[in-house]
Amino acid sequence: MKIPKLKIFCDFDGTVTKKDVWVDALGRFITDKTSFAKICDDFSSGKITSRECINRELDLVRNFDFKLFDSFIDLQELDDYFQDFVIFCKENNFGLFLLSEGLDYYIGYVLNKFKIDLPYFCNTLSTQEINGTTKLSCYFPYSDEHCNSCGMSKRNILISNTNDFDKEISVFIGDGVSDFCVSHYADIVFAKHTLASYCWKNNITYYEYKDFGDIMKKLINLISKGKIKQRQNSRTLRKEVLLGG
């Protein structure tokens, strides 16, 4: 059985982790829950961009303390099969990358806690001490100069790390609004929750999953049947981006 060349790109919050770490850990420092919910709703409905959502939510953070934040992050759990999935990818020489609109601080903390060594691309937490209080902000090292919507361009990372000429096949795994754009450019999409609804509405072929155990089983099945291949439409879209279209 010939093993295909897979590059696997995976969302973090609510995908690798059981809960959205941003909401569950950082959200505990937001007391204005009404405003917080409004921002989340506006982002989900497309009224505001990802960058606007992130900056507005960080503006709501009060009485931030790193030690307390760490204790909240310590409570986070991984998908029950994610660590097995990491081993599965390593054994088959599949590239595995984490893509997130979240913050480097808590992503690095979680990965270190579970002793997982993977490349990850996300937004960068920045802090400033003002009158004895810690003010949070962030900057976007992986944004797209031609796109003001995404803080972190998952599309660009997928394209720049997938070699179409070498017959590499891109796989994307996600669950939410920040995964909408990149789902058009991946050859194979695994989706749940909001992303699954989006793919269904936009005629993007996808496989629904509950956990990474489901994903491993499906990939093994597809490989055994020789059904892993590039999606022509996605390949065309990737080419257009590379050519500046």
240 Cβ contact partners less than 8 Å away, ≥ 6 residues apart:
none
Predicted TM-score (pTM) of the model is 0.95
> What pLDDT does 145 receive?
78
Percent of the chain with pLDDT over 70: 99
147, burial (CB in 10 Å: exposed 0-12, middle 13-18, buried 19+): middle
Q: What is the CATH number of domain 6-21+75-242?
A: 3.40.50.1000
pLDDT of 222 reads: 96
Q: What is the model's pLDDT at position 52?
A: 92
Query: Percent of the chain, pLDDT > 90?
Result: 88
Instruction: Report DSSP state, residue 188.
Output: E
Model pLDDT for residues 94-109, shown as the tens digit of each residue: 999 999 999 999 999 9
Q: Where in the chain are the domains?
A: 6-21+75-242
Q: What integer is the mean pLDDT of 222-241? A: 93
Query: Residue 121: pLDDT above 60?
Result: yes
119, pLDDT greater than 90: yes
pLDDT at 133 (0 to 100): 87
| Predicted confidence band of residue 242 (pLDDT cuts 50, 70, 90) | confident
Q: What is the pLDDT of residues 189-217, one digit of tens each?
A: 999 999 999 999 999 999 999 999 999 99
* Residues in CB range of 70: below 8 A, 6 or more apart: 109
Average pLDDT of the chain, as a whole number: 94
- Which amino acid is residue 105, in one-letter code? Y
pLDDT band at residue 46 under the 50/70/90 scheme: confident
**What is the arrangement of strands in the sheet containing 120-130, beginning at the earlier edge strand?**
133-139, 120-130, 95-103, 6-11, 169-174, 188-191, 207-208
Q: Using one digit for the tens of pLDDT, what is the confidence trace for 215-228? A: 999 999 999 999 99
Centroid of chain to Cα 70: 21
H runs (alpha helix) in the chain:
21-24, 33-44, 50-59, 66-73, 82-91, 104-113, 154-160, 180-183, 193-201, 212-224, 232-242
pLDDT, residue 2, reads: 79
pLDDT at residue 245 tops 70: no
**Angle formed at CA 82 by CA 66 and CA 233, multiple of 5 degrees:** 105
pLDDT band, residue 149 (cuts 50/70/90): confident
Spatial separation of the C-alpha atoms in residues 208 and 225, rounded to whole Å: 19
Better-predicted residue by pLDDT, 148 or 194: 194
